[in-house]
Structure 1
Amino acid sequence: MSLYRRLASQSSVIFAARLFGAGIVFVVQALIARTWGADILGEYLVIIATVNLVAVTMPLGFQTIGGYFAAEYRAHGNRRQLVAFLARAYGHIALVFAVLLVAGQPLLSLFGLGQGTVARHFLPVMLLAFGTTMVFVNGAVLVGMKRPFAGFFADTLFRPMIVIAGFAAAAAIADADAAFTALLWWVACGYVAICLIHFGFVVATVLAVADEGTASTREPRRWWRFALPWVVIGLATDFFFDIDLLLLAALLSREELAIFGVCTRVFSLVSFGVAAVYAVTMPEMFESEARQDRAGFNRKVSEANLVAGGLSVFLFVVMLIAGPFALMLFGPAFSAGAVPLAILCLALVVRSLLGPASLVLSIHDRPYASLPAVGLGVVTLVGGNFLLVPAFGLMGAALAALFAISLWSGALWWTALKTAKVDVSIFQRWRRTIERATPAE
């Protein structure tokens, strides 16, 4: 099967599963807003943002490089080195989780958050963070081992099922605050069970890898060299809007925060379709680079860009048409998010057209080269929020995000072009097509 067809088939199935799961979560969030009020929905979104940010830091960056090293060790038939990597990753999770259980509440009180939403629901939040970070690591490893369905489905399908089951159980409780607490406990315990089953798939997959190599004591240095920059890259890219929601909590009302939070969740859904394309392609890119097949590497980047760019444009058009109707499910007030949602989806188009620069820089052994561009994007987001949100509200928040994503995507493209000598944008494909079509003089 050609790469085009495999990208189209596998990424379509993964995205369809994500769409189904996100539809469930979308309905649950709409029910929370209508049943318990927009304020509780705002609290729920703040808790999910906090869970995601805590979860992404617990493995100390190893979830961001799990796919990369799993693909490498699988290609080389080095099961022992893969097991050593996984032992380190899961060990980080266990250690940080234990520290947070002991020191988390005192730290929240130290920063004046002892009576906040996270502190009042501390234990279910910590369990949610544990389950989420385990699925992050499990999923990354399974994708790197060419099992993308097993890698993605725990988060895309089974977590939404846990969420809707939790809401159905909690909805029977009359008091809104007690019902919300029950929902968090249901989801937390259910997701921990899911992550442990998911871990069983990782164990079975690792045992099937050939054991032809040895574990080198020098590899941990290489892991850290990739993990340290990638934990920053992962926070600023995959969890960009979780950071943004926490920044906006002091600038928007609870209702506006809930509206923007729903817009960002829809954006995360559509952006997942693009991410799935690159996740399916990543092991192929690595194998081409390992064989020093530069032509093959460039071709696979180009094909992935074409699929991702076309998908992002299609999803932008879909959101222009369907976005307002989807937002109305949450109530009349949420229609104010229609234009901000379209602006966020436009940012996805920009990001897709400029290509997977951070991934390519890491494959070319230059992970730290991404950090200046990512830092520029975060600074632009913070500055844009404080300049635009007080004057323009939701529109200001969306424009700040568009400027930040566009700026860092452009900076990453330029960095990859100058340091790795690779044009990761879709434009290099068009340029090569024009060059081939132009007759030589």
Structure 2
Amino acid sequence: YYVVPFILGLICMPMIAMSDLLQGLARANSWALFALAPTYLVRPVLILALMALMLLVGFAPDARTAIFASIAAAYATTLGQLIGVTTRMDRNIPAGPKKVHFAQWFLVSLPIFLVEGFFFLLTNADVLMVGAYMKPDDVAVYFATVKTLALVHFVYFAVKAGVAQRYVQFTHGEPEKLAAFARETVSWTFWPSLAMALLVLVLGEPMLSLFGAEFVAGYPLLFLLVFGVVARAAVGPCESLLTMSGNQNICAAVYAMTLAFNIGLNLVLIPLFGLWGAAMATAFAMIFEAGALSFTVWRKLGIVMAIFVAAEGAA
């Protein structure tokens, strides 16, 4: 039951990669609609619409049908985004000679690639480790539980997407403005995340019941997992600040350590405590990530990225 959906999912990869590239181009030019709407609004709605249509015409309600809907939605939204972004690029950037600085691009982009790669693995390592140790039914319950936290994670990703360009602007010659703005982004991340976390805890049980009555067993895990997510939000988008200020190498190292820490905890705790062990490993890893990133920002930039620590505490 894993192989066919996995192979079908690989068909989406070229369009997902192109969409990320186009999102970066659009964000660099402050085209928020073209950057975020295709991925976060259009594609999810289109997946749901296509899934409903396929079920109406007789497709089975299984993973392969969902993957087919995802493939169609990914190709449709990415191609539309490609047309929109390239049209605006052609309109705003005049034709002329070009030069590719491949070595410089590679040296900068490789650590950023590692940061994003380690972060992606970090957000999925617990599910993979649960799959290695426990039954598919347990994996399903845990997966549904951690994905319920998407409402809380959304705040972090929204702030991260919106502030990176401003970090770059203030990094060059305006350290006071950078420090003040960075402190503001911590508040922008933490308080909405805390509000969403409380909402998820209140509505978590009925939300999980939408997957099926047996999925409600994952509700108690939310209290532990939410603690880790809020801890991450308490330091704001440190990763973006480090990357945009030229400290992407040490940022990649922090995420590598966090991933190793997470995997080690999962190896120890899942055999002992089952799903609770995975939740503990994930929460502890997010707390470690938050502390390590905040400390690194302070050492490298002299900026205190922690919601309840005053800026004067950097001294």
Q: Which moved more, 1:269-278 or 1:299-308?
A: 269-278
- Cα distance in 1 between the residues matched to 2:25 and 2:256: 27
TM-score by length of 2: 0.90
Q: Structure 1, residues 242-291: CA drift from partner, whole Å, max 9, x if none?
A: 3332232111211111111112222233212222113212212211223x
Mapped contact 2:156–2:236 kept (Cα < 8 A): no
Deviation at 1:176, TM superposition (A): 4.3
Given candidates 272, 291, 302, the residue that maps to 2:154 is 272
Q: Does 1:330 align with 2:211?
A: yes
2:78 matched residue in structure 1: 195
- Cα distance in 2 between the residues matched to 1:421 and 1:212: 42
Paired residue secondary structure (2:41): helix
2:200 matched residue in structure 1: 319
- Cα distance in 2 between the residues matched to 1:195 and 1:209: 21
1:159 matched residue in structure 2: 43
Q: Does 1:360 align with 2:244?
A: no
Deviation at 1:299, TM superposition (A): 1.4
Mapped contact 1:139–1:152 kept (Cα < 8 A): yes
1:141 matched residue in structure 2: 25
Q: Which moved more, 1:362-371 or 1:179-188?
A: 179-188
- Cα distance in 1 between the residues matched to 2:127 and 2:232: 20
Unaligned runs of 5+ in 2: none
Percent identity, please: 20
**How many matched pairs?**
315
1:416 matched residue in structure 2: 297
Paired residue secondary structure (2:211): coil
Q: Structure 1, residues 270-324: CA drift from partner, whole Å, max 9, x if none?
A: 212222113212212211223x111111111111111111111111111111111
Q: Structure 1, residues 389-425: CA drift from partner, whole Å, max 9, x if none?
A: 1222221111100111111221122122222333233
2:179 matched residue in structure 1: 298
Distance 1:272 1:332, change over 3 A: same
Mapped contact 1:245–1:261 kept (Cα < 8 A): yes
- Cα distance in 1 between the residues matched to 2:32 and 2:50: 27
Mapped contact 2:183–2:304 kept (Cα < 8 A): no
Given candidates 283, 286, 289, the residue that maps to 2:171 is 289
Q: Does 1:257 align with 2:164?
A: no
Paired residue secondary structure (2:234): helix
1:392 matched residue in structure 2: 273
Deviation at 1:239, TM superposition (A): 4.9
Mapped contact 1:316–1:342 kept (Cα < 8 A): no
Given candidates 178, 197, 220, the residue that maps to 1:339 is 220
2:11 matched residue in structure 1: 127
Question: 4+ residue stretches of structure 1 with deviation over 6 A?
Answer: none
Q: Does 1:229 align with 2:111?
A: yes
Distance 1:382 1:365, change over 3 A: same
Deviation at 1:368, TM superposition (A): 0.5
Mapped contact 2:159–2:237 kept (Cα < 8 A): no
Paired residue secondary structure (1:422): coil
> Counterpart amino acid of 2:148?
V
Mapped contact 1:135–1:198 kept (Cα < 8 A): yes
1:150 matched residue in structure 2: 34
Paired residue secondary structure (1:158): helix
- Cα distance in 2 between the residues matched to 1:213 and 1:287: 26
Q: Which moved more, 1:414-423 or 1:318-327?
A: 414-423
- Cα distance in 1 between the residues matched to 2:220 and 2:8: 35
Distance 1:136 1:175, change over 3 A: closer
Q: Structure 1, residues 113-165: CA drift from partner, whole Å, max 9, x if none?
A: xxxx23x2465322222222222222222122212232111122222223223
RMSD: 2.6
> Counterpart amino acid of 1:145?
N
Superposed, which structure 2 residues align to 1:7-22 within 5 Å?
none
- Cα distance in 1 between the residues matched to 2:225 and 2:33: 27
